Amino acid sequence: MKIPKKVTVAGVVLRVEWADMEGKWGDYDNDKHLIRLSKSLKKEKPDMAVATLLHEMVHASLRLTGVSEVLGDDNEEAVAVNIECIYLPAVEKLLVDRD
């Protein structure tokens, strides 16, 4: 899957950019409505780029709706990892099996 330059979460358009990053594959800046993905993903782990984009979109959804304020940083990360690694694959399988 090609990584889009923009995604929409909770009705907000978020820019998606490749960036030189150390020690992480992506992040989300709620003030700038910006998701950054590590350039190293593009070269070394292209399949992980999509997973990382989905993960950062979860962070965006939690921040844009104020849920992250209730969760705190550690719980927010746990929720983001759970949705990325457990929930989204289950939804994908459901949609594929439906046809």
Site string for Zn ion, 49-88 (x = CB under 5 A): ----------------------------x--x--------
Q: With respect to Zn ion, which residue has the nearer C-beta, 7 or 95?
A: 7
Q: How near is the Cβ of 94 to Zn ion at its closest, in Å? A: 24
User: What's the rounded Cα separation, in Å, for the pair 42 and 56?
Assistant: 16
Cβ-in-10-Å burial (0-12, 13-18, 19+) of 74 comes to exposed
Q: Which residues bind Zn ion (CB under 5 A)?
A: 77, 80
